[in-house]
Chain A
């Protein structure tokens, strides 16, 4: 005899440790299996795109910190590149190198966090996360040393960077970069063959390359599906065309591959920082721009390879002191486009792992 089951609605969040912020999932369950999944967002909506229309171009830089607060440097960089393209501002070479160094440090910090919380979601409670936090802490110390803030850095400026790093920055980053490869090797040893991780993440949340491309998925998720697409190579900005690094790709596009791609990208980031530090040119770190910057009417779309994917800024000028339109292409939000496809039919704990592997930041989803 079989017992008929009846679908029921399960709310995950808004306050739930696995949603990494105020993010709610409304899941229709049939026993253990997911029948339908819907996300409810907006709890952190601050309407930055509207606020930006009443502030000058420079005043908008701190807003970009507060979208993706785990990758503030990348957000600063993307916005400054867009305004520089709009207003035709030249950036000194030293500033480009410093931007690369800080963007890659931010990628290291963000990927540490992503991988740590992902393993946390998969069931290896807290210990790997704390290991990952150890290195992230040192990177945040470097940020604090340079610009006085750890998360909301507000470091990039239109035309360069705000400050030259202080003298004590260089020995600190040298020792970090020297020790990082051994640390990453440690994680590899600890986690790559870890039974918890393999059992929970292999074959879960699979996206094929064609699905991922059509679904606007970018960043490590797209690369895990086997598409070697990285804006640092495809459309080099700053000084990325002068460095030697590789694009790691996955094979199956499951959660395990996403984890592995992020781990390998950390290794490549260390390589880039090493080369940028060795070749760091001297000179000014900033071009002076007029305080009341009024770009000619027009529009510019600039994008960077953020830790979560393509981070784009679309800025429209009508000739005034503030942007007429300021749009952020938020990879955290757009990478959730295929959430239903990844989660329907899976068991509930697998959906949690899938959500963890997309590496969302709710501040960026809601903006």
Chain B
């Protein structure tokens, strides 16, 4: 599978095992599009995606599903920039990424470049930090708990 992907999208595969294939973040959307369009791979559905904090890097894991061939493809992208982790959005290929990417952004703090509506989802705008990160509980000292303004409202009305 990894060899086919590398042939289809040159320069995309970093490493692979029997279970998953890791691709370069900048080639991620091309790789997903190729997997989606290729009749052999037929990754028609983005079944699941989530972020994993591995301390020194983030992993974004995509579980792709072929409904006709009945197989699953697991694609990973590794992000080494902990401060400004960002990966291209897969929304142009899969509309089902709309809420899943918002969830990963909200809880893990990974930005998806090109996502049409990247906002916090469960937590409010301005929430300090991203809870699913392993270093979340080391909240910065200048943070004051409480709401500065009403959630989801536009405009800055300080308390």
Contacts and interface: CB of A to CB of B under 8 A. Distances in A.
A338 B52 contact: no
A316 interface: yes
A23 to B, nearest CB: 12
Interface of B: 44-48, 50, 52-53, 61, 63, 67, 70, 74, 94-100, 103, 107, 121-124, 131-132, 136, 152
A325 B107 CA distance: 12
A127 interface: no
Contacts of B47: 216, 218, 303, 310, 312, 329
A310 to B, nearest CB: 6
Nearest to A301: B63
The 9 residue pairs across chains A and B that have the minimum distance between CB atoms = A216-B96, A42-B122, A327-B50, A45-B122, A329-B48, A215-B96, A215-B95, A325-B52, A337-B98
A367 B124 CA distance: 16
A309 to B, nearest CB: 10
- Interface-centre pick from A45, A216, A329 (highest chain B CB count, 10 A): A216
Contacts of A50: 107, 131-132, 136
A141 B132 CA distance: 38
A312 B48 contact: yes
Contact of A227 (B67, B95, B97, B107): B67
8 contacts: A42-B123, A45-B123, A49-B107, A211-B95, A213-B67, A334-B99, A366-B122, A367-B122
Interface of A is mostly: mixed
- Interface-centre pick from B99, B124, B132 (highest chain A CB count, 10 A): B99
Contacts of A41: 121-122
A164 interface: no
- Interface-centre pick from A214, A312, A324, A366 (highest chain B CB count, 10 A): A214
A42 B48 CA distance: 20
A336 interface: yes
Contacts of A329: 47-48, 50, 63
Given A47-B131, A325-B50, A367-B122, 13 more contacts: A49-B107, A49-B132, A50-B136, A211-B95, A213-B44, A216-B94, A229-B67, A303-B47, A312-B48, A334-B100, A337-B99, A337-B100, A366-B122
A50 B130 CA distance: 11
A25 B148 CA distance: 23
Nearest to A24: B152
Interface in A42-82: 42, 45, 47, 49-50
A334 to B, nearest CB: 6
Nearest to A314: B50
A234 interface: yes
Nearest to A313: B48
